[in-house]
Amino acid sequence: MNPETQLETALDALATRADWRAVLDALSAATYVTDAEGAVTYWNRACVELAGREPQLGQDRWCVTWKIYTTTGEFLPHDQCPMAEAIREKRVIRDAVAIAERPDGSRIAFRPYPTPLFDDSGTLTGAVNMLIDVTEEQSGALTEQAERCRRLAGALYSRESNMVLQHMAERFDQTAAELRKSAGNDR
């Protein structure tokens, strides 16, 4: 079952069951819930495994990960992560990928599925997010992107453009290497 179908099935079950925690606890995918201000109010065991840490109730906002980065290696503040964007804009966010750094320094690429929750009157009450591990997929994609940057740099005559593209390629390679190392797949 794909992640969006899994999330939709869980949301449907939540709407009909009083014991919504049991539904989310049963998911093998990392899943957590926030209130309307982004404070994390619930997480399942898979969430702890993915994040490499136990979220802190009353302290963590927007996200359960320790640190987040873009796929180019740029630090991404929690208040700018996809979940924060979904709550702020009151809309579903899809097709995002981020890199989580765990407290032990290992990294994991994930695809979030933040989905705002509304009451019957349309008022935002919180949000639910499912995090899918895409480390292997992203490692390969980043390596390919680095190679594209190098090919483009080789086709240009501008020294400045070459330097920028080479720097981009290095960043993509570095992020891919960190993901492979964390996944135990050094190649």
Name the stretches of the chain with pLDDT < 50.
Answer: 185-187
Give Cα 67 to chain centroid, integer Å: 11
Q: What is the pLDDT of residue 187?
A: 40
The DSSP secondary-structure symbol of 53 reads S
- Give the alpha-carbon dihedral of 51, 57, 62, 64, to 10 degrees: 0
The DSSP secondary-structure symbol of 102 reads P
Summarised one tens digit per residue, pLDDT across range 138-164 is 888 888 888 888 888 888 888 888 888
The CA-atom distances, in angstroms, between 106 and each of 47, 135, 140, 154, 181 are: 15, 11, 17, 33, 8
Considering the domain 3-133 in this protein, what is its CATH number?
3.30.450.20
Tell me the chain's radius of gyration from C-alpha atoms: 18
Give the integer Cα–Cα distance in Å for 61 and 38.
5
Domain ranges for the chain, please list them: 3-133, 138-183
Q: What residues contact 71, with CB distance under 8 A and at least 6 apart?
A: 97, 98, 99, 109, 138, 141, 142, 172, 175
Summarised one tens digit per residue, pLDDT across range 19-38 is 777 878 888 899 999 999 99
